[in-house]
Amino acid sequence: LPTTVTDFTERELIARIQARLPPPPDWLLVGIGDDAAVVEPARNRLEVLTADGLVEGVHFDRGFTPPHAIGHRALAVNLSDLAAMGAEPRLALLSLALPPALSCGDFDEMIAGLAALASRQRLHIVGGNLTRSPGPLMIDLTATGSVKRRDVLTRAGARPGDEIYVSGSIGAAAAGLQMLRAKTANTEVEICTRRYLYPEPRVRLGLLLARNRAPSACMDLSDGLADAVHQVAAASGVGMRIDREALPIEPCARDWFDARGSDPVTEAITGGDDYELLFTIRPAYRGRLRAASRHVDVPITRIGVCTKDPAVVIRRRSGDSSSDTPIPRGFRHFA
């Protein structure tokens, strides 16, 4: 019989996590093992804090999400929030609720996925909490980062005339999830499924943009591009016009949606799990954007413009004419 998490004490499971962590940074004065962690704040920096979690059956399906990817994604969603604020990742606290039947191997793999991304992004796990779950597996993280006061990126600074940009490509994660559900497997779909399983938070891009003070507003695409443009528009008090033809839809996702008779644009802008950054830049600051983008190997695409008119629309061009259609506000019911 394989061992499960119930074959261990809480302390033994914590030791298995600690074994995968790098040596503690010098700003960590009291780490795992006391009532709480004690850290030295980053000098002359503001602190950025975010919490996000994944629940089995809501945010992932263990049937097709390897434990390693669960650990990766749980941290990636938090890192993406830090990236959207222009913050440099610092530390995280990890809360796990584990079903008793979870195998020890799966537990270790999940921690390995999380620890690998944490190391790569120089974020240190300083504490947390382990408990058993009588239901689904849950993994909750609180992450903090640091940012200079004048570098903070928020959703609220876009002005009419600012240009709208998005990093990377969109739609791949949503297509990847459909592929995983359909149990499709070939080398072509790997681009999309990998994007769903191992999203890459745009931490370095967020940092570079913030340091250049290029964006007037910034947000990540966790709930899809359609949701993000509405959020930034509302927070900034502007409208937005998105260029349908400019959207950087991942080709394999476009093919997948096309083959199923669904509209690739609708799918790509309403699908979630694209942890890209959406940001606005006033035209005079294009040089700053270019300077920042030279140091990252992710494409950046101009997809539209902020408008005085508060409507949030998508523009379709055909020949010399064009027509604008409102982008529906994502009415996401809690259930």
Residue 152 or residue 246: which is nearer to its own copies going by CB?
A: 152
Could you tell me how far CA 126 lies from the centroid of its own chain?
Answer: 21
Residue 110 tokens read as: 């999940």
Question: Which residues are 331's β-sheet partners?
Answer: none
Q: Give the integer Cα–Cα distance in Å for 189 and 255.
A: 10
Residue 156 or residue 185: which is nearer to its own copies going by CB?
A: 156
Residues 6+ apart with CB under 8 A from 63: none
Query: Is residue 155 helix, strand or coil?
Result: coil
Residue 103 or residue 184: which is nearer to its own copies going by CB?
A: 103
Stretch that binds its own copies, among 31-39, 116-124, 267-275, 294-302 (CB under 8 A): 31-39
Residue 291 tokens read as: 């300077």
Q: Is 29 one of the binding residues for its own copies (CB under 8 A)? A: yes
Residue 109 or residue 190: which is nearer to its own copies going by CB?
A: 109
User: By C-alpha distance, which of 207, 235, 220, 219 is closest to 274?
Assistant: 220
Subset of residues 179 to 218 that bind its own copies, contact rule: CB under 8 A: 218
Binding pattern for the stretch 133-152 against its own copies, x by CB under 8 A and - elsewhere: xxxx-x-x-x-xx-x----x
Subset of residues 55 to 114 that bind its own copies, contact rule: CB under 8 A: 55-59, 80-82, 84-85, 87, 91, 93-95, 97-98, 100
Site size for its own copies, by CB under 8 A?
77
Residues 6+ apart with CB under 8 A from 293: 205, 208, 300
Beta-carbon count within 10 A of 114 CB = 29
The residue from 18, 103, 154, 301 that contacts its own copies (CB under 8 A) is 154
Q: Give the integer Cα–Cα distance in Å for 218 and 280.
A: 7
Q: Is 170 one of the binding residues for its own copies (CB under 8 A)? A: no
In the complex, least distance from residue 137 CB atom to its own copies, rounded to whole angstroms = 10
In the complex, least distance from residue 94 CB atom to its own copies, rounded to whole angstroms = 7
The residue from 126, 166, 189, 296 that contacts its own copies (CB under 8 A) is 126
> Cβ(21)–Cβ(129) under 8 Å?
no
Q: Is 156 one of the binding residues for its own copies (CB under 8 A)? A: yes
